[in-house]
Structure 1
Amino acid sequence: MAPQLPPPSPPLPLRPTTFEDTVAVHDADLAQVLFEHRLLSAVYSKRPPDLNSKKRKLHEMRKQVPDVDALARKRKLDLEGTAETSNVEPARARALEKRSTALDHLLDDGALDRPSMAMRNYKAIVVMPLRMTHEEARLAALEGIIHLRRASSDSSPSLTNGATASTVWKAEARPTPSAIPRSLVFTFPQNSYEQRSALKRTTKAGNDENVEVMANGGGGPGHDAAAKLRACFDECQRSAFTHTKAIQRIVALQETAPEATVEAQFKKLLNHIMRVGKREPAVERLVAFVGLCCSARSDNADNANIGNALLEKLLDHLLDALQAKDKSARMRAAQLVSNILGVIPRDGDFLQDATWDKLESRMLGRLDDKVANVRTQAVRALERLQDTEACANGKDPICSKLTTMMESDSSAEVRKASVRAVVINKASLKAILRRTRDTKDDVRAASYERIGTHVHIKMLSISHRVALLNEGLNDRSQVVRLACERMFCEKWLALAGGNPLSLLKYLDVEASLETVLLALRVLFDAAFDKSRAQEASEELRRAADWDLSGPNAKLVLTPEGAVYLRAKCEALLRNGRDDDVEALIPDLTSFGEVMAVCQSQVVESAATKAAEDADRLASARFVLEQLLETARGLDASHDVAGQHALTQFITKMLDTRRGPNLGVVQASLKLLRSFVGDHMEDQFVRQGASIVFDCLEPLEASAVEPSSAGADAVSLAQLQAQLEAAVASEDYETAARLKRQVADLEQSPQAVEAWRMERALVIAVSVLQAIRRPAVIAELQGLMDRVILPNLQEREDDHLRHLALKGLALYCQLGASQARKHLPILKMFLTAEEETLDIRADALRGIFDLVMLWGLAAIADADAEEGATPSEAAAEDLMFMLLGYMDSDDHTLRLVAAEGFAKLAVVGRLVDVRVLQCLIVLYFHPTSSSDVRLRQCLAVCFPILAENTQSGRAAIEEMAIPLLETIVCPPPDSPLGEVPVESVLQYVVFLLSFSASTVQTAFAQALLVELLAAPTGPHIRVLSRALNNVKLDADCDVALLVKVANTLESNKSFTDGVAARQLDKFRARLADLLKASGGKSKQINSEDHAEDAATKSAHANSGAESHQGVSFEGDEEKANPSDELAVILARVKARASVHEDGAVDAEAAGASTSASQTKESKARRKLKRKSIFRAAMAVDDDDLEDEDDEDDFSVASDSE
């Protein structure tokens, strides 16, 4: 017989079908139930795995609810006024009766008296059904919630009136939620067990009024205020658009409701917010809403907020929560304090002095919290608590602490928050500038944003401004680059009044040209790029279209105007706006007139040697160089007249003594080279050679300088008379200037000859640099004989000799015969120790360039050894000579040599195993630890060789095993003993990962050989770890590796625990490979029972170990030479003897150290220490006896 249903409630003619309808019907009752369910879903969303028997029983009863979809359809038809006969109503009645019976059983059994049991049973009976998919099942669960709502006050996990946040959170730890829902609601004080029982009985009787009154714990204004506050919070967590109206309702509620009730309810609502640690939109909206509530004002009191007393008490409650044990509570409390401090007005006595002091002390304490999120929120809260005046004097403790955290905190979020929060003063500004080089992109971007918005450009020095632009615009992160672009194009441009030339005056355009051009390129691209047209502001467009015509035409002759014109022309051409370029520069003839005006300023400034005239001269030369670079970028193919005018101007300018410098000369020759095509390059060479010869032997006297002796005498007499008059009138500044002019005029013949030779040399080098096709004509040979070679013999002027050496190297690049002919000159400058370091480094660079172009055999000219062709012997000698500079005491020469060999290997010109071995040893040697450029170069070189070039991969494969044998057992007193073996092996294994499986197998065998040869050696752990890093697959010779590994495992000398575990791990890998290989595993298992004589002999002799290795006597006689394992064991024996010899030599060297130091001279001791590259190539000691022969090297064979 079907059970009887309870009588329907009178106020409920129709059953609600949604949560919203349910809340509307039971406004004061089920709304709280729904709130409670959502919070518990957020906090206790993960079901514990150990459910008790009652939970399992209830879970089974819940599974027995039949056809809830049909039940939902039936209820929908009933609501629409239709009738449908179905059998689902009795099923629903049975399900509700079972649920009611279960609830009665739990209530009568007292299962809800204990807090832990109350929460678990609540979750099993109420929370889980409310999460069910079907709506009818959720509504049925809501009916059962009424029986459990009112648990005893001690069974609630929520905060009560008498408990503070810290005590409750410390008393009961909350499990970490696995998932936080999109919204949360709030639990409230519950009634006693007696009230709950009465509620159950009243509910069964159908008295809904008693249900509502008892469920709410009684009526009254306090209850209404709490319900309204809860409703406001529930609305505000769903949408931010309701915050304004909710704040108005709360302000009105405070005027009518008791203050204690509002305060208590507000604290409870805050407690539920602080329980959620995950960043959820609903929680973030509530956090923002609380801050707005604290800053709201009443309409009836203009000078009062929502209640200073309430604000004080809320802050006290939050500050107490900062000491909670739960990290989520600490984080949310700090976040709420930060939001409140961020929105309350900065004027007025909103807080008492004691509250401010408490805020400062508690927040400073949270800066040392172990959770990074708590520290981040504390930093944001402390932003408001800084004293600006004390920060300016460096006496504010908060500012000092934030500055320290900005640089020392391990969390990037804390550093970023500190950058944004700290007050700008001298100390914090320096720290922010250092944060622009932080390891994290977000911190660097935040630093640029803070500098752009809060730091005036005048507060930064010129070097800081240039460094910021250079590092920011070249940053690898797009976020940082965009932040730097906004700083320059928006903030700094606005500070300059929108004038780009004024902005460039804040930068040193002459000393930092590349950085300024990059910044202007960013500015013009932002203004001209069509894809970014919407991002460009009106001020940015005006800056990009700045007019340089009319009254502003003179600005072109300033350094800022010349650079701006060059960058603008390049940007217009880059964006395809040729018409705008023609409108800006109509023709080359008029542009040449502008250059002539600039050249006249150069000559005028160079006529005197005053300090201000020297600055003007440098600026004028810089402007002239930029104008020449601008003209080179223009299309002058159809402007023949303009080309002719510029050619005449350049020819005349280069023949002027007080005129162009090196930069102007190089720009002039590049412009002339752009006038001719590649097929007419000989014409450009002849034109440049004629300018050089005219400079050496002018046909007529220059109009700028006196050339005759009579004119010199007249000028000298006039200057001397003026000098005497200046001294008599005590005009010492004019007298000093006249004295310098007299000295120059007295030396004019020699000075004229010197500057003509220097000018000719500079032009000749510039012509050689502009040549693109290797070819030698008569004019080039004339430049070589008349200009370059004579200046190489100049001993008084290092600058001229340096330029001449550069020209010689450029001339040798025109052909292999020229390189072979003049290579001895380069070698002479390289080996001459009396030469300057720059000259020797340039000579070494020139030799490497020639080797890269023509190869060793094509340029070497040394004598040949017996049994070798001259080219092979000379190439070998040249290579060893260059290799010797990798161990030079000078940092520059060592860097040039390493870079040269690395480039030769990358381009495939010289891929030698010995060279690569020396490079990899130098890469890891401690002597190169401070050489960042050297290590960066080699770090790029080796992966390129291993991955992209076949010859490089083969050389690395050939190098691996000899390198392993060399570094594992280095000779005594060898610098190889300082090389970190583990780092080298890890890097070699990485390089070999690009090779075939056979190479991996061979290297694994070599590692096993070293372990067998010295089972008690110092590197067995390193070797065993490297063994597990080797990539092996099913194609490898796994069978042989298994045999060798088993041989090592059976060795009684192999007793190190760490190495043994690594070996077991390696053998497990081999076993997996054997399983993957299929039939091979059976073959190996059968072969294990029939080991050959060599293996058995190795096992028998493994106990007769020595201090450094194991002896394998008689193995060669018993082993079959064709057996691979016998070959490996023979290698083991050879390597064991090498290890034993090394140990003996080390002991002998240690015993005779004191005696040898007394007998040997300092030079002999220095010579006996092997260099890095000689030790890496196993050079014999006999080669060291000849001190003068630095190129005689004998390389030991790899079979050793």
Structure 2
Amino acid sequence: MARTGSRLATNQHHGTAAVQTSSESEHVRDQVTRALELVAQGQGSQLSAFSLLGEAWRTDADACLCALSELLKRCLVVYTKDAGVERVFEFVAAFAASESGTRAMDGSVDKENSPFGEDFSERMLSFFTRLLAAKDKAVRCRSCEAIASLMNAFGDATSRDTTIWSRLTRALLERTRDRVPMVRARALVALHAMYTREAQISDDETWKSFERLITSDPSTLVRRTALAHAVLTPQTKLLDAVLSRTRDVDERIRAMVYQQVLSGQVDPRMLSIAQRVELLQRGISDRSPMVRRACLQTMLRENWLERVCDGRLTSLMRLLDVEVNETTALSALTQMLIDCSETRCLQIITRFMSELRQATDHTEDEQGEQQQEEACPVDLNELNAERAAVAYVSAQVIAWKARRDRNPIWSHRLAAFLPCTADLCAALLYYHRHAVDVAAAIPDMDATSSFISNPEHSKSALEISAAIGTPQTYAFVVRMLLKMASLVDLSDEAGRRILVSTLQALIRSPRFRTEELELALGTLMRAQADVSETTRLIAEMVTGLHTGTDEAETEPETEQQCSSGRCLALTEALLQVLLMHWHRLGHQFSGRSSLRQRMDSSSFTETAAQTLMPTLMSLFSACVLNHLTSDDSDQRLAAVNVLGLYGLVDQTGQLAMQHALLLLHVSENDVEAVRLVALRALFDWLCVFPFESASSDDHSQSSKESWASDQDRTTLRRNLLDRLCMVLTSADTDSLQSIVVEGFAKLIFLRRLAPDAELIKRLLLLFFTPTTADNPALRQCLAVFFPSICLLGTAQHRHAFEQTFLPTLRVLVNSPKLNPLATVSPVQAGQYIMYLLDPSRVKAQPMHHASRFQTPTRPSPDLR
């Protein structure tokens, strides 16, 4: 009986304890539930929720965590965006951070004295880490989001348990390969939060995951998230991956790289000069206005110019090495100033003028000079490459704004900015003479390796080069001054005569470089206003050089080659200038509303070409035909280039017809560089001249000769196209194949070649075959050509694509296993052709009338 009584007493005691424990657990559960309800509904103060959850944690940590885990699982299954769920996770993260901070400040508190023996943050991290492997995508996504919230809220009070961090890192790295893009993106955010809080994670493996997702993830969301959270330091080695996204297929990602990543984290001095130039080249040639604006205004002006270069245009040009990268640097600076507001553009130019005056006058009152806004001509003293480039671009932009706005203010500023013609001509002669003197002072300046490598001469050569500059620098300054000379006002007769005599003297100079010949001839043609005089001058010079070469039997071979190269350079520069001059005239007359005026402009161009052809043919026989059979490949290259220009200058097409087979022979049997130029010339001739007979029913005796000539043209054209079609599949280099593909695409797009199903089938197979994957020029050309011709072409073009559908798929299906086409999916190829022929694509992608024929690269504004 005594034993029975004691057992009953013991059972009664345990029952009372269980009831008390159950009631406490219920009370804790109610507190946790009320706290999360207040947070989710956004009602009441967050302090009340903090006090409720804190009281529950201190009362019974085990019951608190059990109730909290059960309630959080209900939030984890919500995949769609929900503000209440996001507030719950932020609240839990803030509570965990406060508890971790309390434990960190109180050093006497340890695991034995804590409510549960462990940190609340560690328990939450372990809980969410286990759920990262759940089957439900919502649970995986919300777990990554909760971990990121915990990391952002922890700060420096984060626990540093190595086991927890390593397990968490491995789990997040696994989630970066999740099949759901949203989960991969959230995992990246959590990994970035761990890195910014200096967590102990595997840096190499983590940043390899970032690099993989930035460069090759198919989801736009994941690539954008990875770029936004990439930490660009030398340790992460992510810079190359980020730079590659400037060629992303999504314009928002390309704009993000320029506007946020490169402008916020990357100092341009971290990049090489080649990387800076490549970034600018991609940005200014992008088809998206948003990307161009981000590149020019955000990255170039706000970051590079204002922040890094302190607003100095010369420092920006030095950052881009304008002397070597002239085209890209000048184009970027020009477009940046044009896209700026007028006030901002004037401030930048005025700051440059103040800098230039300070450099030449050696004054120290920089602030006073910057505030001075009085217009004054640019100082041509002590010009270097950077100052000359900025001076030319500033004058160019002011002249463009004066023509566009028709505002007398810009015209007055241009007149005040440009120096007088006499000073400009004196500066031209001065810098050209110094270029010649410096080249003579430093022997073999173009090939300094043998001179400077000698220890006896290296010190003297470097000292001379540092003191007086290099010939390349002076030649660059001359080039900028020649471009500036094309902007001067020629109403002053005395100044115009000085300019003409100066340009003639420069052209006659044997040390005048080939790069400046075209600029000088273009400016001379504008100053003389008579094309025949400039042509006669070049003809006399070429004839003199050719006669001197023939008569000097004992002349060294090197001097003969220099003379021959001079003849070809002069002729090529003259033809280039003539083509540009006639194109400019045609562009001016194309805006005339009268048909008679347009016909008059066309007849004027043809008459000018016929008038100049006798003189040009004398140059042709003197310096072109003789060099086509030269042993020097460089001379053959120049001769083929000049022959191609001659065919374009001859408006009748007779010269192109006579020498087309010659160019075809060169394109098949010469070295690769010459073959490329010959192929380009052939396709240019085919694009300009029809080479085919006109349909006519008049076969009388008087028209038999012309009819026979038309038949010869048609036969020649057919033979050329057949031989060129063979190059599509038999070309031994990628460059040759790209030139032929681009040429046929131009012919079809310009309606010079009727749509042929067999030719289009060959182009489609070249586009699909894996062997052209390493030929980006070919792939990009066809990727633009196919959608454009189907969208903007005629019904015949679409019918030709319809006819190629089954033959193309038949080739892919019947390809042998060893053929690269066997790896191409016929289903995907058929889907692509069906996409091209989809009639709803025209309605789905409306194009502006003025921009329908927009090319992939955006040309710089016409500032001439």
- Given the two structures, how large is their TM-score scaled by the length of structure 1? 0.51
Within the candidate set 536, 541, 551, 1:689 is matched to 536
Residue 786 of structure 1 deviates from its aligned partner by 4.0
The within-5 A match list for 1:698-777 is 753-754=563-564, 757-758=567-568, 760-772=570-582, 773-774=605-606, 775-776=608-609
Residue 669 of structure 1 deviates from its aligned partner by 1.8
**Where does residue 245 of structure 2 map in the other structure?**
435
Higher relative contact order (CA 8 A, sep 6+): 2
SS at match of 2:511: coil
**Where does residue 549 of structure 1 map in the other structure?**
357
Unaligned runs of 5+ in 1: 1-194, 196-215, 702-708, 710-743, 860-865, 996-1200
**Where does residue 589 of structure 1 map in the other structure?**
422
**Where does residue 523 of structure 2 map in the other structure?**
671
Cα distance in structure 1, aligned partners of 2:749 and 2:25: 87
Asked if 1 retains the 8 angstrom alpha-carbon contact of 2:50 and 2:95, the reply is no
Within the candidate set 385, 392, 395, 1:566 is matched to 392
How many residue pairs match? The answer is 708
Is structure 2 residue 271 aligned with structure 1 residue 460?
Answer: yes
Seen in structure 2, the aligned counterparts of structure 1 residues 946 and 686 have a Cα distance that, compared at 3 Å, is same
Asked if 2 retains the 8 angstrom alpha-carbon contact of 1:226 and 1:261, the reply is no
**Where does residue 488 of structure 1 map in the other structure?**
300
**Where does residue 887 of structure 1 map in the other structure?**
726
Residue 785 of structure 1 deviates from its aligned partner by 1.2
Residue 878 of structure 1 deviates from its aligned partner by 0.5
Cα distance in structure 2, aligned partners of 1:887 and 1:932: 21
Cα distance in structure 1, aligned partners of 2:64 and 2:428: 81
Is structure 2 residue 186 aligned with structure 1 residue 374?
Answer: no
- Amino acid of the structure 2 residue aligned with 1:280: D
The within-5 A match list for 1:958-973 is none
Asked if 2 retains the 8 angstrom alpha-carbon contact of 1:637 and 1:675, the reply is yes
SS at match of 2:119: helix
**Where does residue 662 of structure 2 map in the other structure?**
828
**Where does residue 906 of structure 1 map in the other structure?**
749
- Amino acid of the structure 2 residue aligned with 1:871: S
Asked if 2 retains the 8 angstrom alpha-carbon contact of 1:496 and 1:503, the reply is yes
SS at match of 1:436: helix
Question: More helix by proportion, 1 or 2?
Answer: 2
**Where does residue 793 of structure 1 map in the other structure?**
626
**Where does residue 1055 of structure 1 map in the other structure?**
none
SS at match of 2:194: coil
SS at match of 1:506: helix
Is structure 2 residue 340 aligned with structure 1 residue 499?
Answer: no
SS at match of 1:557: coil
Seen in structure 2, the aligned counterparts of structure 1 residues 777 and 884 have a Cα distance that, compared at 3 Å, is closer
Residue 231 of structure 1 deviates from its aligned partner by 6.3
Cα distance in structure 2, aligned partners of 1:983 and 1:268: 48
Residue 871 of structure 1 deviates from its aligned partner by 2.8
Cα distance in structure 1, aligned partners of 2:324 and 2:123: 61
Is structure 2 residue 35 aligned with structure 1 residue 229?
Answer: yes
Within the candidate set 325, 328, 346, 1:515 is matched to 328
**Where does residue 292 of structure 1 map in the other structure?**
94
Asked if 2 retains the 8 angstrom alpha-carbon contact of 1:334 and 1:374, the reply is yes
RMSD: 5.1
SS at match of 1:657: coil
Cα distance in structure 1, aligned partners of 2:706 and 2:828: 39
Residue 947 of structure 1 deviates from its aligned partner by 5.8
Cα distance in structure 2, aligned partners of 1:969 and 1:297: 69
**Where does residue 485 of structure 2 map in the other structure?**
631
- Amino acid of the structure 2 residue aligned with 1:571: V
Cα distance in structure 1, aligned partners of 2:771 and 2:64: 70
Residue 545 of structure 1 deviates from its aligned partner by 7.6
Cα distance in structure 1, aligned partners of 2:828 and 2:25: 77
Unaligned runs of 5+ in 2: 1-18, 361-378, 449-461, 583-604, 695-703, 841-864
- Amino acid of the structure 2 residue aligned with 1:687: T
Is structure 2 residue 427 aligned with structure 1 residue 619?
Answer: no
The within-5 A match list for 1:27-426 is 226=32, 229-230=35-36, 232-234=38-40, 237=42, 267=69, 270-296=72-98, 303=105, 309-346=119-156, 348=157, 350-386=159-195, 396-423=204-231, 424=233, 425=235
Deviations 1:165-190 (A, max 9, x none): xxxxxxxxxxxxxxxxxxxxxxxxxx
Asked if 2 retains the 8 angstrom alpha-carbon contact of 1:768 and 1:811, the reply is no
Deviations 1:1026-1074 (A, max 9, x none): xxxxxxxxxxxxxxxxxxxxxxxxxxxxxxxxxxxxxxxxxxxxxxxxx
Deviations 1:557-588 (A, max 9, x none): 33233332333333334444444433432433
Seen in structure 2, the aligned counterparts of structure 1 residues 583 and 276 have a Cα distance that, compared at 3 Å, is farther
Deviations 1:1100-1143 (A, max 9, x none): xxxxxxxxxxxxxxxxxxxxxxxxxxxxxxxxxxxxxxxxxxxx
Asked if 2 retains the 8 angstrom alpha-carbon contact of 1:587 and 1:639, the reply is no
Residue 335 of structure 1 deviates from its aligned partner by 1.0
SS at match of 1:669: helix
- Amino acid of the structure 1 residue aligned with 2:314: L
Residue 874 of structure 1 deviates from its aligned partner by 0.9
Residue 470 of structure 1 deviates from its aligned partner by 2.0
User: Which has more radius of gyration?
Assistant: 1
Deviations 1:532-565 (A, max 9, x none): x7xx9x9989878874334255797332333323
SS at match of 2:496: helix
Cα distance in structure 2, aligned partners of 1:872 and 1:669: 37
- Amino acid of the structure 1 residue aligned with 2:386: E
Asked if 2 retains the 8 angstrom alpha-carbon contact of 1:791 and 1:804, the reply is yes
SS at match of 1:475: coil
Cα distance in structure 2, aligned partners of 1:758 and 1:495: 45
Asked if 1 retains the 8 angstrom alpha-carbon contact of 2:210 and 2:226, the reply is yes
Seen in structure 2, the aligned counterparts of structure 1 residues 556 and 256 have a Cα distance that, compared at 3 Å, is farther
- Amino acid of the structure 2 residue aligned with 1:281: A
Seen in structure 2, the aligned counterparts of structure 1 residues 851 and 323 have a Cα distance that, compared at 3 Å, is closer
Determine what percentage of the aligned residue pairs are the same residue: 22
Seen in structure 2, the aligned counterparts of structure 1 residues 599 and 935 have a Cα distance that, compared at 3 Å, is same
Residue 855 of structure 1 deviates from its aligned partner by 2.6
Residue 666 of structure 1 deviates from its aligned partner by 0.9
- Amino acid of the structure 2 residue aligned with 1:885: L
Residue 421 of structure 1 deviates from its aligned partner by 3.5
Deviations 1:657-679 (A, max 9, x none): 223x2221111122233446xxx
- Amino acid of the structure 2 residue aligned with 1:820: Q
Seen in structure 2, the aligned counterparts of structure 1 residues 579 and 748 have a Cα distance that, compared at 3 Å, is same
SS at match of 2:247: coil
Asked if 1 retains the 8 angstrom alpha-carbon contact of 2:32 and 2:52, the reply is no
SS at match of 2:434: helix
SS at match of 1:908: coil
